[in-house]
Structure 1
Amino acid sequence: MPPDTAPSRPGSATSIIPVRHNLMSLRRLFWLRWALMGGQAVLLVSCEAVAGVILPYSPLLAILSLQAVFNLLTGLRMRMHTSRGGMPSDAELMGQLMVDLTALSANLFFTGGATNPFVSFYLPGLAIAAAILPWRNVIALAAYAMACYSLMLIEYVPLNLHNPDNAINYHLAGMWLNFVASATMIAVFVARLSGVLRQRDAELNLAREQLLRDARIEALNDQAAAVAHEIGTPLATLAVIAGELRADAADPRLATTHVCAYLPDLQTMEQQLELCKSILARLRDDHETAAAQRIDAWLDGYVERWQLRHPHARLEANVIGEAAALPVEAARVGQILTILLDNAARSQLAAGHEQIPLRLAIALEDNRALPTLIFRVTDRGLGIPKSQRARLGEAPMTSMHGGQGIGVYLAQSAAQQMGGRLAWHDHHEGGTVAELRLPAPSLAALPAASPFASPLTTSPR
């Protein structure tokens, strides 16, 4: 027999699943029908000589011929599916089994009806249907088989026996043959098909594991890209300070300047280096940083770390109402907010409003259908043109203050992975309000609040 799986595309999770399962089922029905027709032909030839049963040959031969023609058409249909790369539908397989049940009913009608020991041959056909078809189709076929059986309790052509006294022996012999044929069909077809299904389940499990591995790698790639974006700000600060130090060293007028005069610059460089180390440590310790934290316990530390990135900017953050007690995925939410706040700080700097503090407000929108946690970053910068706002986050694009839009693209992608979204609105006093909306997590995700939780409002001293 040919293999049970079709060629697959590498890298696709569904590629290792046997996509031609229905085609293999049709092929097995095709060969099983030839085998059953061969058995019918043997019985037609030998029944009278061996069992003394006179059969109505004309209708039985007509039924056998129609079965042969139908099976030849089935063979052509299989070739068509193979050449076109198609797959039989469940309705087509149901039609195949319906034809088989009809042929069986016709044969039984002319050979004793419900008194024929082969009348239980309906059961292997229904077992095959249960193995390859949805339950609705199986119920329909079972109802059809019961209707045919019930009809043959009333109307059928009686068997013509040479010796009616041997009817019981003939019936027992027929029941034995029926059992052998049914057991063979179930063993060859249904058991083999069950093995294929078990193999498919194993392959599906492998596909799920591969998907999980791919998801972990994709998440690590996203985090690495976000970390690379975050680390650009402290590196830019270090580059500016290094350039100033180099210029001072080359200036003859500053040749006698003591090192202690550069102490603030050196301290800033140390802070930026520590910030770079903490960002890289977060990439290494992804398992720990991905844990959920209460917003009121996480916010102060986050604001302090962000201030190290922008020592000349000011950030005022506050949590409103019940949002303080909610858990938040600190790593990813922190990355998104860092990108939004970085852009807001650069926009305000470009607009000459660096003295105005940025504002981060966190609130819970208590919608009964879908409670939403909202993070709003407000700046008084240059604003975002409406032509860009609709496409912002969908692809990298150049911003008004010199950015390439990669950070916003990463932030939108991360928000969508968390089931949320980013949106930007004009501020009534000028500037932009960037809004991160996430499904509100359950309060049961974290233990009760610690008595040492940080205050709900924080701002740099």
Structure 2
Amino acid sequence: MDTTAAVPPATVIPHPSTAQGATPVRHNLVSLRRLFWLRWALLGGQAALLVSCEAVAGVILPYSPLLAIFSLQALFNLLTGLRLRQHTGRGARPGDAELMGQLMVDLTALSAILFFTGGATNPFVSFYLPGLAIAAAILPWRHVVALAFYALACYSLMLIEYVPLNLHNPDNAINYHLAGMWLNFVASATMIAVFVSRLSGVLRQRDAELNLAREQLLRDARVEALNDQAAAVAHEIGTPLATLAVIAGELRADAADPRLGATRVSAYLPDLQTMEQQLELCKSILARLRDDHETAAPQRIDAWLDGYVERWQLRHPHARLEANAIGDAAGLPVEAARVGQILTILLDNAARSQLAAGHEQIPLRLAISLDDHGTPPTLTFRVTDRGLGIPPAQRARLGEAPMASMHGGQGIGVYLAQSAAQQMGGRLAWHDHHEGGTVAELRLPAPAPEPLPAAPPPASPLTTNPR
């Protein structure tokens, strides 16, 4: 069998996240950078409170443990800065676990500070909430739930165990508490407004970039699909153009022959009719480029098969094709364009092989059947020829890679047809025919019957033989 025909494989549209791989990287890097600078801001605010708390509010704080906690926070933030440099230099992204670890350290430091400054009685105890709000903005819900349980556990422990605040004037405790609540609200609102709102802006920008990427991918996919279709059309036109070239050469030779130069034009009427058929075939092939909907929409087999056989017959006017859809297979929908292109390859190769064997008078057979005993059911398109057959060694590798055939083909058509069949969830296979020749099978998952427009009632079985 010749394997020179080609069919465009299905166009696969990649997911936008793969096309914009830098987007999630940038998103997580921005989150880590925000946490880095927010931690410096909090350390500055904590240092200012530590210095002014006793003079302004009359609260005596335990300086030694608090200074140790602040120092550890500063050291950890310096390490975070180095980590940011590493991620930026390598083009890597911080994982969700790393961001969760950052927030876990912040909640732990907050818990330690609150422990030494009144525990649950400290008005800044609700500072847990901005931290959890930040976590909810940048982490998956499972990580947020884990951090929430951790914060709840710390809060609960500080209801029982903590170091009480030492006040110069305990009678002003209520006023100090109210003032602390006001400062806590200001700090919390500032954190949420600055961090979460800016992070939301990054998320909106990411969504806009993904939408633009998706639109660009769709445009590229349409162009690629059109290119593939144009390549298939160019190949299909090659057969009728070759027929026209042969007839034109014969007419030129007859016109140059002194014995035939005065032949009446009517003597060439069969040749002219063949030329008209080939030109009409070229027009119908080109029309597919202008009508994407018709070529892509599913069609019932019994409504599509007659027209397909007629069009293929025009490609090979000296060949004969008998096609039938057996039983329930006739009412099933198929992707007419893709299935038709694969079958064109198989039938073209079968016709050439049969012609090389000198059996062009024997009709090719296309049988379509439904095997509903397997899981899932299989729709089989079986092309049978009486050609030269395929050597076993070649048949075992046919369709797996481009491979030259005995008729001069390079195997690209069958290779692409196999790829297209696999993308449709099926496969091509070849077997020896018991009377000589080859049986080529296209096996596809059987689609569910759809309420498509009914076709004229076919004969039983549906048989097409235009010759």
- TM-score of the aligned structures, taking structure 2 as reference length: 0.92
In structure 2, the residue matched to 1:443 is: 449
Once the 2 structures are TM-superposed, how far is the Cα of residue 443 of structure 1 from its aligned partner? 1.5
The alpha-carbon deviation at position 192 of structure 1 amounts to 0.8
Whether 2:164 is the aligned partner of 1:158: answer yes
Q: Residue 45 of structure 2 corresponds to which residue in structure 1?
A: 39
Aligned to 1:122: 128
Does the CA contact (< 8 Å) of 2:313 and 2:321 recur in 1?
Answer: yes
The residue number in structure 2 matching 1:324 is 330
Counterparts of 1:13-412 in structure 2, within 5 Å, are: 13-15=19-21, 17-366=23-372, 369-412=375-418
Q: In terms of mean alpha carbon deviation, does 421-430 or 79-88 score higher? A: 421-430
Distance (whole Å) between structure 2 residues aligned to residue 403 and residue 219 of structure 1: 25
Q: Secondary structure at the match of 1:361?
A: strand
Deviations 1:64-119 (A, max 9, x none): 00001111111111111111222111111111111100000000000000111111
User: Separation in 2 of the partners of 1:283 and 1:411?
Assistant: 20
| Structure 1 residue 393, shift from structure 2 partner | 3.3
Q: Distance in 1 between matches of 2:118 and 2:17?
A: 58
Q: Counterparts of 1:383 and 1:451 in 2: how far apart (Å)?
A: 37
Q: Percent identity?
A: 88
Q: Match for 1:460 among 450, 459, 466?
A: 466
Farther off after superposition, 132-141 or 434-443: 434-443
Q: Distance in 1 between matches of 2:263 and 2:204?
A: 79
| Contact 1:382/1:400 (8 A) holds in 2 | no
Asked if the contact 2:302/2:455 (under 8 Å) is kept, the reply is no
Instruction: Report the residue type matching 1:147 in the other structure.
Output: A
The residue identity in structure 2 corresponding to 1:235 is L
Q: Match of 1:6?
A: none
Alpha carbons 2:303, 2:456 under 8 Å: kept:
no
Question: Does the residue aligned with 1:275 lie in a helix, a strand or coil?
Answer: helix
- Partner residue in 2 for 1:431: 437
How many pairs are equivalent? 451
1:394 positional shift: 4.3
CA RMSD of aligned residues (A): 2.0
The one-letter code matched in structure 2 to 1:275 is L
DSSP-derived class of the 2:382 partner: strand
- Matched residues in 2 for 1:431 and 1:450: separation? 34
The separation in 2 between residues aligned to 1:250 and 1:450, in whole angstroms, is 51
Query: Of the two structures, which has the highest relative contact order with CA contacts closer than 8 Å and spacing of 6 or more?
Result: 2
Deviation, 1:16, is 6.6
Note the C-alpha offset of 1:49. 0.5
1:458 Cα shift? 1.5
Q: 1:450 to 1:301 in 2, by over 3 A?
A: closer
Task: Describe the superposition over 1:133-188 as per-residue Cα deviations: whole angstroms up to 9, x where unpaired.
Answer: 11111111111111111111110000001111111111111111111111111111
Give the letter for the 2:158 counterpart.
Answer: M
- The answer to whether the Cα contact below 8 Å between 2:114 and 2:120 also exists between their aligned partners in 1 is yes
The runs of 5 or more residues in structure 2 that have no matched partner are: 1-15
SS of residue paired to 2:259: helix
Partner secondary structure for residue 317 of structure 1: strand
- Calculate the TM-score normalised by the size of structure 1: 0.93
Q: CA offsets per residue over residues 361-400 of structure 1, 9 Å max, x none?
A: 1112225642332211111212223443344334443222
User: In structure 2, the residue corresponding to 1:443 is in which secondary structure?
Assistant: coil
SS in 1 for 2:349: helix
- Mapped contact 1:226–1:410 kept (Cα < 8 A): no
Q: CA offsets per residue over residues 407-434 of structure 1, 9 Å max, x none? A: 3234234334433332222323322222
Q: CA deviation at 1:351?
A: 1.5
Structure 1's 420 and 209: CA in aligned 2 closer, same or farther, altered over 3 A? farther
1:12 Cα deviation from its structure 2 partner: 7.0
CA distance in structure 2 between the aligned counterparts of 1:310 and 1:451, rounded to whole angstroms: 26
1:293-327 CA distance string (max 9 Å, x none): 21111111111111111111111101011111111
Cα distance in 2 between the residues matched to 1:225 and 1:372: 30
Structure 1: gaps of 5 or more residues: 1-9
